A and B are shown apart, each in its own frame.
Chain A
């Protein structure tokens, strides 16, 4: 390796590491500020906590518990409904005879192109008409409806690549389409189903637009909305706000690290092969 190449490599490595620090430092700062009182934060923005007090994390936990429970409920239920309905739909679209099939494919996948913000005004009245305005049910319904197109798209692409002999053999043995779906195709799709579950969790846990507009009660609001309202309510108690932000971000970051492989598969399939 020539000296010039070695220098170039060293320079690039320094750049990559500096970038990593730029990404990580604000996040670490956020987590550490959950340990420091206002005076300490103002005195030395860069300082380490001089004593590790869990007071603010405990405060934040008390303040966010309700939002956390709501987020968990909405995320869990809408993940199950979205992935189940999408898998069911994808199976029908790829492996059963159906009149007008190309039309339905275009209709359902076309939903991916529509922006949620355009739907806001009509959805207010629609949800009020259904009597579910300001309920977790409204969020579950919307998260499912708006994510079925993308999730169906991912599962459908996977099912198209599965060999047909399996279902043909099962049909020959007298299995109904329902049995083939639940017993044969669904288990075979588990890699993409896991990716879909993860991507939906990521979406539902972080969603803000619908949650902010369609829920008002503290018992219904999810974490992202709860956090932004904490800014106005406890605007001066910075430490517990930082702690609440950390509590809200941590589960999804841990989930990402544990399941990276599936996350990445879902992301790359989503953008086209």
Chain B
């Protein structure tokens, strides 16, 4: 409090030096701050208003949009569909992919394994627009592959308008998504499994453990971290799903395949109700935040443990 070097020149020189040192991050901070963070804050502001994007009219709405959110039956459908997406994807793209990777890594030669992994990965490299359109046709009665297969199996009676029937549409889309995504997670699990020291398996074999026992007692615990990360990433992805639904059904029939993302789009960009769309955005934000915090917690535990 008493002695402070009264040299304004030195202070401003230090400030200038510090600012100059920030030149490395300035551009990234500006971009991420302006286009990733700021919209989130602005979204909350918009969610408290009624506005029309074309006339530019904005009126304060208080929490009306959130109240509507709580009463909107389609929000329940959407949340249910997102949740179903999450559960099925965790089953197929985490546990299924883990088992698949364990099988691949336990069979054949390195070359065969590499080819299988690459083949399974191909759909993940293709855009969801292409795969969505492709399955849109596969599910078409008459020209699609699915009906062809069913008829071939003598199950022609099962045939239906898969994407046009509210009872089957969301399942058909989720099935496409598993087809597209399982190879990606299987590849990641394969890499994790390759890092497990071979001695562990040798010792287990010496003790007379069979392949299933080895997967259960060595592979699974040794890839636990990867499994945890994959569950969180898969669940986060399931709550952000948009493309395949937009391409295959646009949320229909009769809103049966709406998810949070497509309902936000429908409200904001088709019904032109930006305030309500922003409120849906807040809900998506809340859900992904919970997933993000879970990921951080898992990372922190990993660093300590």
- A residues within 8 A CB of B264? 117, 120-121
For residue B24, which residue of chain A has the nearest CB?
A92
Contact of A117 among B32, B104, B284 (CB under 8 A): B284
Contact of B122 among A23, A29, A97 (CB under 8 A): A23
> In the bound complex, do residue B127 and residue A149 qualify as a contact, i.e. CB atoms below 8 Å apart?
no
CB closest chain-A residue, reference B22: A98
State whether B28 touches A249 (Cβ < 8 A): no
Q: Report if B38 contacts A (CB, 8 A).
A: yes
* Chain A residues within 8 Å of B40, by CB: 114, 118-119, 122
Q: Render A147-174 as a binary contact track against B, CB cut-off 8 A, 1 for contact.
A: 0110010000000000000000000000
Q: How far is the CA of A113 from the CA of B191 in the complex (A)?
A: 24
Check: B60 CB closer than 8 A to any chain A CB. Answer: no
B240 interface residue, CB < 8 Å from A?
A: yes
Interface residues of A in 1-43 (CB under 8 A from B): 8-9, 12-13, 15-16, 19-20, 22-27, 29-30, 41-42
In the assembled complex, B257 has its CB within 8 A of some CB on chain A? no
Q: Complex: how many Å from CA A233 to CA B23?
A: 49
Whether A271 lies near B229 (C-beta < 8 A) is yes
Q: Are A16 and B116 in contact (CB under 8 A)?
A: yes
Q: Which residues of B contact A12 (CB under 8 A)?
A: 103, 107
| B129 interface hit (Cβ, 8 Å) | yes
B interface secondary structure, majority = helix
B125 at the binding interface (Cβ < 8 Å): yes
Asked whether any CB of chain B lies closer than 8 Å to the CB of A175, the reply is no
Cα-based distance from A45 to B184 in the complex (angstroms): 29
Interface size of A in residues (CB-CB distance below 8 Å) = 88
Q: Which residues of B contact A108 (CB under 8 A)?
A: 25, 28-29, 32
Known A12-B103, A13-B107, A99-B21; judge A41-B143 contact (CB<8 A).
yes
Residue contact A45 to B127, C-beta cutoff 8 Å: no
Residues of B within 8 A of A186 (CB): none
- A181 closest partner in B (C-beta): B24
Please report which residues of chain B, range 56-115, place their CB below 8 angstroms from some CB of chain A when the two chains form the complex.
100, 103-104, 107-108
A145 on interface, CB distance cutoff 8 Å: yes
A16 & B281 in contact (Cβ 8 Å cutoff): no
Give the distance to chain B from A123, nearest Cβ to Cβ, in Å.
Answer: 5
A145 contacts which of B31, B127, B144, B269 (Cβ < 8 Å)? B31
> What CA separation (Å) do A208 and B126 show in the bound complex?
12
A209 CB contacts on chain B under 8 angstroms: 242-243, 261
Can you name 30 A-B pairs with beta carbons within 8 Å? A13-B108, A20-B119, A23-B120, A25-B145, A26-B135, A27-B126, A91-B24, A111-B36, A113-B288, A113-B292, A114-B40, A115-B284, A117-B261, A120-B277, A121-B42, A121-B46, A122-B43, A123-B39, A206-B126, A213-B265, A223-B129, A224-B127, A224-B130, A228-B247, A231-B133, A252-B126, A256-B121, A268-B191, A271-B233, A272-B225
Residues of A within 8 A of B (CB): 8-9, 12-13, 15-16, 19-20, 22-27, 29-30, 41-42, 45-46, 85-86, 88-89, 91-93, 96-99, 104, 107-108, 111, 113-126, 141-142, 144-146, 148-149, 152, 202, 205-209, 212-213, 223-225, 227-228, 231, 238, 241-242, 245, 248-249, 252-253, 255-257, 260, 264, 267-268, 271-272
**Top 7 A-B residue pairs of the complex, sorted by shortest distance between their CB atoms:** A92-B24, A206-B127, A113-B292, A119-B39, A145-B35, A122-B42, A224-B129
Besides the contacts A223-B127, A256-B118, what 13 more A-B pairs have beta carbons closer than 8 Å? Answer: A23-B119, A45-B148, A93-B24, A98-B24, A118-B281, A145-B36, A149-B36, A206-B128, A264-B187, A267-B187, A268-B188, A271-B226, A272-B225
